[in-house]
């Protein structure tokens, strides 16, 4: 069994108010990344944060403020987000208010970041379809978020072209089985390049439930020459990560998906969650990959 690649998804689009330990600025993202790297992560997944407000803001300059210092201090693999272009369920297009939230706006950070070798990412998320991302509050008996990330096949073709031109490996984000089929189709017609790397995102409302049977089914649908990783939201995170380790896949943890290190106990840092994965892997006899070993597994060139 090949060594385990651990990705630390350190922020996501989460609100700082919802998690006081969330890295809120590029400087805090650098610190969180270095801690996760020391704990055993070989990949960091980054969403841009505005250094003044601490809120997510998808601008190349904010990515660069985090990526360059990270590059200068360690050899972790940099994976940036390009997903999130969307429309609220009630029909209002988000990018009418925020232009960079269009598909072209989200992917435009790639050529901007690649102009500087120090800020060029290794990988980027590639949503292979249009997932529903809803959050429901039992306490309020209402939906806190109504959001569809819209990606047509024309959108995906455009995104793939930008990634291919800049030699950035797409991480195929799959929130349900149909997105695997989309990726295989795009590869068959020459839009995506082999070997594919899949990131199964489980447990979102509107996506595939986080169960062992569902993970097994997802894994069985991908071509044999592909790599895969699993993440899951909330308290589903560590059970699904453990199954990913056992099944020979790779894993993602971090504040983007979950704020608890165990039920009722909030994680103090992303590194604390990475440390837990390393302990689980050790108990199961699975060695953890270094960034260079992860590059070889994923078919990446050295930064």
pLDDT tens, residue by residue, 12-60? 877 777 788 999 999 999 999 999 999 999 999 999 999 998 888 899 9
CATH no., domain 6-84+108-129+155-298: 3.20.20.70
Q: 244 pLDDT exceeds 80?
A: yes
What are the tens digits of pLDDT across the range 59-103? 999 999 999 999 999 999 999 999 877 776 566 767 666 777 788
Give me the percent of the chain exceeding a pLDDT of 90: 78
Residue 90 pLDDT: 63
Q: Mean pLDDT over residues 107-134, rounded?
A: 94
Check whether 148 has a pLDDT greater than 90. no
This prediction has a pTM of 0.94
- DSSP assignment of the chain equals -PPBPEEEE--TT--GGG-TTS--SHHHHHHHHHHHHHHT-SEEEE--B-TTT-SB---HHHHHHHHHHHHHH--PEEEE-----EE-TTS-BGGGTSGGGSHHHHHTHHHHHHTSTTT--SEEEEE-S--B-BEEETTTTEEEE--EE---HHHHHHHHHHHHHTT-EEEEEESSHHHHHHHHHHHHTTSSPSSPEEEEEES-BTS----HHHHHHHHHHS-TT-EEEEEESGGGHHHHHHHHHHHT-EEEESTTT--EEETTEE-S-HHHHHHHHHHHHHHTT-PBPPHHHHHHHHTPPP-
Residue 89: what pLDDT? 58
Residue 302 has pLDDT above 80, yes or no: no
At residue 14, the pLDDT reads 72
């Amino acid at each position: 069994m090949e060594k385990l690649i651990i990705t630390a998804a350190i922020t996501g689009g989460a609100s700082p108010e919802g998690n006081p330990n969330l890295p809120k600025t590029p400087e805090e993202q650098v610190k969180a990344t270095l801690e996760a790297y020391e704990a055993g992560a070989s990949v960091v997944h980054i969403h841009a944060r505005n250094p003044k407000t601490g809120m997510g803001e998808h601008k190349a300059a904010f990515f660069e403020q985090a990526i360059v210092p990270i590059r200068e201090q360690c050899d972790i693999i940099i994976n940036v987000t390009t997903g999130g272009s969307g429309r609220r369920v009630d029909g209002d297009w988000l990018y009418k208010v925020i232009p960079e939230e269009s598909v072209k706006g989200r992917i435009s950070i790639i050529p901007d970041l690649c102009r500087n070798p120090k800020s060029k990412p290794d990988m980027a998320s590639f949503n292979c379809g249009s997932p529903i991302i809803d959050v429901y509050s039992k306490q309020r008996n209402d939906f806190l978020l109504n959001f569809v990330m819209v990606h047509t096949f024309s959108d995906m073709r455009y995104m793939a072209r930008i990634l291919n031109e800049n030699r950035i490996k797409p991480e195929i984000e799959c929130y349900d089985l149909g997105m695997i089929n989309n990726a295989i189709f795009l590869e068959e017609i020459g839009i995506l390049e082999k070997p594919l790397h899949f990131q199964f995102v489980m447990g979102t409302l509107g996506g595939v439930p986080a169960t062992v049977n569902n993970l097994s089914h997802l894994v069985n649908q991908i071509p044999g020459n592909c790599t895969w990783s699993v993440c899951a939201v909330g308290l589903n995170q560590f059970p699904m990560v453990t199954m990913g380790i056992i099944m020979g896949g790779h894993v993602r943890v971090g504040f983007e998906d979950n704020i608890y290190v165990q039920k009722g106990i909030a994680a103090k840092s992303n590194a604390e969650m990475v440390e837990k994965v390393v302990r689980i892997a050790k108990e199961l006899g699975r060695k953890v990959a270094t960034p260079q070993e992860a590059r070889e597994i994923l078919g990446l060139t050295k930064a």
